Structure 1
Amino acid sequence: MAKGVKAAVIGSVFAVMVGGAGYGAYNIVSALNGGGATGSAGPAEERTGPPSSEEVEETTGKFFAAWEKGEAAQASTYTNNDAAARTVLSSFSEGAHITGVKITPGAAKSATVPFTVSAKVSYGGKSKPLTYKSELTVVRGKTTGRALVDWQPTVVHPQLKRNDTLVTGEAANPPIEALDRDGTVLTKEKYPSLGPVLDALRAKYGDKAGGEPGVELSIRHADESADTSLLTLSKGTPGKLETTLSAGVQAAAEKAVKKYAQSSVVAVKPSTGEVLAVANHREDGFNAAFEGRVAPGSTMKILTAAMLIDNGVTTMNGPAPCPATATWQSQTFKNLDGLKADESANATLANGFLRSCNTAFIKLVDEDPLTDASLMNEAQERFGLGRDDWKTGIVSFDGSVPASSGPDRAANAIGQGQVQMSPLNMASVTATAITGEFRQPYLISPQLDGRRLATAKGLPSSTAAQLKQMMRLTATQGTAAPAMAGLGGDIGAKTGSAEVDGKATSDSWFTGFRDDVAAAAMSQQGGHGGDAAGPIVAAVLRAAG
């Protein structure tokens, strides 16, 4: 908690924008008479249906004018959550020390009004201007019929979430100057996707990097994730923090994910486990690259193939028929549209892998000595997944491959069912597959804080050699070939498409390697693996060469 600061509890949406003249410039004096719980945004008779344009203008006018004057109780009566709005609006000036509020509305789009907030933050003799943008929506009150502001945490600031707090005071942690592996300074301004990562690093290592805290306006998150700094009144003294990132690879990763919505990518160095890049392109700011928990689709076949080989079920050149459909305990599985069935002698595991044949893998998951726990054991013991013991330097997900019976046992084998992964997990899977060694990925050297990295026994050399060769074939002759075209060096890859309940378009997954770099990407609702995730991975591998 910032010293001497009362936290501003943000319990609902409070959206804001940058501006010039305040909303008080509007001629709405007559509309402000009465107010309070009996105030009306329209005629006395109860109305129904969407608010009219006149109601939208009148309601936002009253709300903005009261907010500008610091009249929290009055402003809250123009929302559909009086109590939450009053708490936020009261603390906006008290805990966050924000004054001189001027709000400039933009042109309404139906019942949604964009606006700009211009204000000043003052604390401890320091003062700085604050401007930001957001929007609010006017809705019809369910019980009163009044036109009211639909209250969400983003009506105070677009980055606020439910029960977050705004605080101005001495920062909870000293600032850091994050450095890449070659000493290049990594900033949010130059590498925007790194914002949440840098915040997390500051929260964990600010006290260890030797800096002194400054004075800031920040969001303190209810989920206890790192504070988000919004405005610095006095900088303090940053401490230097060395990371494993590569500025060049990071820049390429950020550029690549921007081309596809809801996309994330991670690159690692297989010989060491060092993370070279982590980038996300998401509206919610979530670090899905490290913390995502979604089905990885057919990229999971790397791990499933390892299970089949390690348990003596088959080899890369062993039989793996690829029928049009495969039934497992009453559930029928099929291949992607356009994939030609092949049950001939040429239908090997390598052939099924490079063509991404689902049925080839499902037909083998009931072979002796496999059990419901075999895939889980392979994931945990050889790939270091699903044990909740990774210590990357920031919050990360270790993957989940549970023992499953029934149809989920077959679905897990093709990256559906109950399996959950992040791009970080799949980049690590590729690194383990091509080296035979599990080296837990990390962003900060464990020497800085003495943490112990996770270990696993890795793969037999023959298994690793077969996996690497199958990935090579996939990158040059199979489903990954279009995305990997033009890349030199020793390359390999695996595509994946993960179906999501309720979504017409699958999630796009792709993981690949080039020499001593492995990368994995996902693009939620991005389609086939080569459509979105493939070009992202290829761009990162190209930059790392």
Structure 2
Amino acid sequence: MREAQEPDDFAGYTEIDDGHGRFEDVGYRGVEFADEADEEVAPRRSGARRAVLVAAGGVFAALLAVGGYGLYNIVDAVQGGNTSSSDGGGAQGPDSAAKGPQEPPTADQAAAVAKDFLAAWGRGDVTAASALTDKPETARAALAVFRENVPTRSLALTPTGPVPAGTASGPAVGFRVKAEFENTTGAWEYDSALSVVRSQDGKAVVHWAPTVLHPHLATGGAIAVKQLPDPVSKPVDRNGKPLDGFPSLTAVLAKIGPADGATVVNGRAVVLSGTGREPEQLFVLTPPSAPQVKLTLDAGLQQVAEEAVKQQAAGGKPASLVAVQPSTGNILAMAYSPSGHNRAVSGGQPPGSTMKVITSAALLEAGVSPDTVVPCKETTFSPRPWHNDEPGNFPSYTLADDFSHSCNTGFIDKGLEKLQPGTLTKVARDQFGLGLEWHIGIDSRDATVPVPANNDDAASEYIGQGRIQVNSLAMASVAATVQSGTFRQPVLREDAKRATAPGKLPADVARDLRSMMSKTATQGTARAPMSGLSGQIGAKTGTVEAGGSQATNSWFIAYRGDLAVAAEVEGGGHGNSAAGVAAAQVLKAGG
């Protein structure tokens, strides 16, 4: 007859006849051996044992045939443990399985294993260190990569005691990392922590996690020594002040590099990267080095220039302004609007009556004096007809009067009478530097004053129209040359190679020009914007016909002491309005 069976905890079992018509179930619970002291059940179990051993032997043989993997697991199951040697279970074997629930490691055990782990890591024995973790393969790979990517001269890892970062599985131990590198001063130091847990065989081991290497690896990524990007030294103003934040300088500063021959050092740093964020510099081994470039600009004056241009450019009118120091040629401020094309130094357009400064210099050298009578007719011809902004005939006007009232006809008549074709071009080039190749430290456009093809061309150039092309930079230099009596090519950086004018403005001509510009600032067309300014002042307005029904372009050049300014506002109207207001703001701030 068949014996009653006990409920089986596992699915599946095998029934074996013991030769007496009785069957024994051989499941996992059925693998049990006879207790020889139990006489009542011994005879039955003796037969069962033989049957079980026969059956089990067949199973073992089959499992051994497939490499022993099944044997390993069935023995483990019989022993009541889990001896998986996968990476998540540590380097455990069949003999090291834990029996039942485990208590977390004690503080002393955690301290001991942490000390051994850190010592092995510090001396570079990644095999020994990883063997002390619950994930030896992962730890071995991570420690090896860290050692390769962060090549230290020495690595000291010092336990600092228990930290409140442990879990129910085990306590945590803090430690201090001190890494030193070849050819560097100082050391990379940081604090981290590790947790200690029980392995499956009951030993205290380090719970491996990327944060063991560095706490910032909690969010992923990798740590390695990398070369830093090419160093870029942000230029500063002449006083060492930063120039960030000025709209007109954003594109300019990006183009400023170290002087030719300057030593540039690419730095190296320990960098955390690959986290989806910007790379993080954890420790700089070699700081990047690029000589700092000190520009000629003045941050305070630049701020005033930016605001002045912004005000006059309201409504979308293009505008620009440049301030130059006459005694040095240094550019102190440079502003333009709208952003994009730097019209302050790269633009090109006729300067209107501000060109009469150079025409006057040519006439003075040709024998005309400020007191020479040069009638201001209402209309003159070249044979093209020419008019003035100021209506009427003024037959008693002198050259100085024509200059201060900006009389077009007087300059056209006297220019056609006294000057040869090409004279204006020569004076502009030889004494004012217009037409030379300038190198200011960034890209700029050189002025052009063409030789006229006929009297109409000559007449238009004498009053700053026609084919003449200049910008605020060029005309600020004209004002600076009058103030100092010497052309000094403007520069944005003092190591720029300056052009030298072939000639020199005669001292008496410079003196007469200053006198006429002073009269214009105090009694002539520039008196409104220049009012209230004291000291050595001089100015000249310019109004350029834009053609058709478009508003005229406003030009203004002036100086006050050792500061010269030129401003232009396209569509700004008369020279003493938009451009004059902007220039005067800068002159007032720089006084």
TM over 0.5: yes
The 3-state SS of whatever aligns with 2:414 is coil
| Residues 431, 487 of structure 2: 8 Å contact kept | yes
The structure showing larger relative contact order (alpha-carbon pairs under 8 Å, at least 6 residues apart) is 1
Q: Which of 276, 293, 302 matches 1:250?
A: 302
Supply the AA of the counterpart residue of 2:416: D
State the shift of 1:402 in Å.
0.8
The answer to whether structure 1 residue 282 and structure 2 residue 328 are counterparts is: no
| Residues 232, 290 of structure 2: 8 Å contact kept | yes
Please show how residues 78-477 of structure 1 align to structure 2 within 5 Å. 174-187=231-244, 189=245, 191-202=246-257, 208=262, 210=264, 212=266, 239-261=291-313, 262-283=318-339, 285-312=340-367, 314-328=368-382, 330-336=383-389, 338-344=390-396, 347-368=397-418, 370-387=419-436, 389-406=437-454, 407-446=456-495, 451-477=497-523
Measured against aligned partners, the alpha-carbon deviations of 1:142-164 in whole angstroms (never above 9, x if no partner) come to xxxxxxxxxxxxxxxxxxxxxxx
**455-464 vs 371-380, greater mean Cα deviation:** 455-464
| Residues 425, 449 of structure 2: 8 Å contact kept | yes
| Residues 400, 420 of structure 1: 8 Å contact kept | yes
| Residues 510, 534 of structure 1: 8 Å contact kept | yes
- Please name the residue that 1:54 is paired with: none
| Residues 177, 239 of structure 1: 8 Å contact kept | no
Separation of aligned partners in 1, 2:565 and 2:278: 35
- Please name the residue that 1:82 is paired with: none
Measured against aligned partners, the alpha-carbon deviations of 1:230-256 in whole angstroms (never above 9, x if no partner) come to x99789766411111111111110110
State the shift of 1:340 in Å.
3.6
**290-299 vs 204-213, greater mean Cα deviation:** 204-213
Supply the AA of the counterpart residue of 1:351: D
Supply the AA of the counterpart residue of 2:460: A
State the shift of 1:211 in Å.
6.3
Measured against aligned partners, the alpha-carbon deviations of 1:409-453 in whole angstroms (never above 9, x if no partner) come to 10001010111111110011111122221111111112xx6x343
Separation of aligned partners in 2, 1:462 and 1:327: 31
The answer to whether structure 1 residue 535 and structure 2 residue 581 are counterparts is: yes
| Residues 180, 246 of structure 1: 8 Å contact kept | yes
State the shift of 1:398 in Å.
2.3
Measured against aligned partners, the alpha-carbon deviations of 1:200-251 in whole angstroms (never above 9, x if no partner) come to 224x75984746599xxxxxxxxxxxxxxxx997897664111111111111
Separation of aligned partners in 1, 2:450 and 2:266: 45
- Please name the residue that 1:75 is paired with: none
| Residues 243, 445 of structure 1: 8 Å contact kept | yes
Measured against aligned partners, the alpha-carbon deviations of 1:284-328 in whole angstroms (never above 9, x if no partner) come to x1111111110000000000000101122x111111110001100
Supply the AA of the counterpart residue of 2:566: A
**Unpaired segments ≥5 residues, structure 1:** 1-123, 127-168, 215-230
The 3-state SS of whatever aligns with 1:302 is helix
Supply the AA of the counterpart residue of 1:177: K
Supply the AA of the counterpart residue of 1:504: Q
State the shift of 1:339 in Å.
3.8
Separation of aligned partners in 2, 1:185 and 1:533: 28
Q: Which of 499, 504, 509 matches 2:550?
A: 504
- Please name the residue that 2:285 is paired with: none
The total of aligned residue pairs comes to 350
Separation of aligned partners in 1, 2:439 and 2:534: 33
Supply the AA of the counterpart residue of 2:575: G
Supply the AA of the counterpart residue of 1:421: V
Residues 210 and 342 of structure 1: CA distance in aligned 2, closer, same or farther (over 3 Å): same
Measured against aligned partners, the alpha-carbon deviations of 1:326-374 in whole angstroms (never above 9, x if no partner) come to 100x2001001x4442012xx1010010001101100111224x21101
Residues 265 and 211 of structure 1: CA distance in aligned 2, closer, same or farther (over 3 Å): farther
State the shift of 1:405 in Å.
2.5
State the shift of 1:454 in Å.
2.9
More helix by share: 2
**Unpaired segments ≥5 residues, structure 2:** 1-220, 269-276, 282-287
| Residues 416, 458 of structure 2: 8 Å contact kept | no
| Residues 304, 375 of structure 1: 8 Å contact kept | yes
State the shift of 1:185 in Å.
1.3
Separation of aligned partners in 1, 2:571 and 2:259: 35
Residues 508 and 241 of structure 1: CA distance in aligned 2, closer, same or farther (over 3 Å): same
- Over the aligned positions, Cα root-mean-square deviation in angstroms equals 2.7
| Residues 489, 498 of structure 2: 8 Å contact kept | no
Q: Which structure has the larger Rg? A: 2
User: Percentage identity across aligned positions?
Assistant: 41
Measured against aligned partners, the alpha-carbon deviations of 1:152-189 in whole angstroms (never above 9, x if no partner) come to xxxxxxxxxxxxxxxxx997x642221111111111x2
TM-score normalized with structure 2 length: 0.56
Separation of aligned partners in 2, 1:213 and 1:421: 43
Separation of aligned partners in 1, 2:416 and 2:504: 24
Supply the AA of the counterpart residue of 1:305: S
The 3-state SS of whatever aligns with 1:253 is helix
State the shift of 1:395 in Å.
1.2
Separation of aligned partners in 2, 1:496 and 1:287: 21
Separation of aligned partners in 1, 2:376 and 2:395: 5
Residues 205 and 351 of structure 1: CA distance in aligned 2, closer, same or farther (over 3 Å): same
Separation of aligned partners in 1, 2:222 and 2:428: 56
Residues 209 and 303 of structure 1: CA distance in aligned 2, closer, same or farther (over 3 Å): farther
